[in-house]
Amino acid sequence: MATSQHLPNGNGNGSIVRPSSTEQDEEENIFLFFPNLIGYSRVVLAIFSLYYMPVHPRTCSLLYSISCLLDAVDGWAARKFEQSTKFGAVLDMVTDRCTTSCLLVFLASAFPRWSLVFQGLISLDLASHYMHMYATLSMGGSGQSHKKVDESRSWVLKQYYSNNKVLFTFCCLNEVFFIALYLLSFSSPFLSPTLLRDASSPSSLNPGSPAAPKPSMLFTSPFSAGAMEMARANKMDSKLPWTLAVLSFPVMFGKQWINVIQLIEASKWLAEGDREKRRKDGLPRAKYNKKQL
């Protein structure tokens, strides 16, 4: 049970009742902070967008885009309500990495000839952000944030993380480019020609497969690879996706360049810490033993 402390007042008459430390320090539920609630909604929207991704490009793009845009809202809420937390920062970064990776996995399957490129982008994105956050937390101290980059370490990363508008622009247009590619996988016959034949055209044999039957006889599941081909057969206007892809490509390319710089700088920072630790531990021992002799 909480107790109160009775202290004499300024003139010595009576006492001042102060609440005990138990009453003063109420435990806050970090998981229910407003920015973290927004982060959970981002995860839900991303899951639904993945559900619709194979066959409903418009619905998927809408849900995915809202999830990405909420990335800016949770940062505003964290500053507005003074609820910036490490859990929220990690949740935000993990959500970004997972959603982008899932979209790139789909693109790798939609454009198999470019799958190696998409696999490389996934690896670069995950590696650079993981090493950057690990280096920041292990080398920068407990109060260090992954967005606080000293200019002497990297001018590019300093400009990237210190300006919210710059950060939002790069992240947003990076996602716009991949969303545009996703839409083009359903709309552009140049990038993703349909594998289904027109029923009115004479049937012929394809290498390694029988004569093309009606799609309904083959693809009973709405989430099969054939159902995706059926969705592609209903071509969408590709003018808007092509425009978005062309306009956002330079920023997307710049974002990947920043990821490379981030990976290199984080590696250097970790190596500096390793050298310092080895020096304090007297390693390599043979070198220090020779000096002593």
Which domains occur in the chain, in start order? 30-194+229-292 (1.20.120)
Which regions of 11-87 does DSSP assign to beta strands (E)?
Answer: 15-19
Amino acid letter, 134: Y
Q: Given this model, what pLDDT does residue 82 score?
A: 93
Cα distance between residue 217 and residue 215, in whole Å = 5
Catalytic residue positions, numbered: 96
Q: Given this model, what pLDDT does residue 142 score?
A: 58
270 three-class SS: helix
DSSP state for residue 195 in the 8-state scheme: -
Q: Most distant CA pair in the chain: distance in Å?
A: 106
Q: Given this model, what pLDDT does residue 20 score?
A: 52
Q: Given this model, what pLDDT does residue 152 score?
A: 79
Q: Between β-strands 15-19 and 4-8, what pairing exists: parallel, antiparallel or unpaired?
A: antiparallel
* The pTM of the whole model exceeds 0.85: no
Q: Given this model, what pLDDT does residue 27 score?
A: 86
Q: Given this model, what pLDDT does residue 139 score?
A: 78
Contact 144, 137 (CB under 8 A): yes
Q: Given this model, what pLDDT does residue 86 score?
A: 87
Residues of the chain falling short of pLDDT 70:
1-25, 140-145, 188-237, 286-293
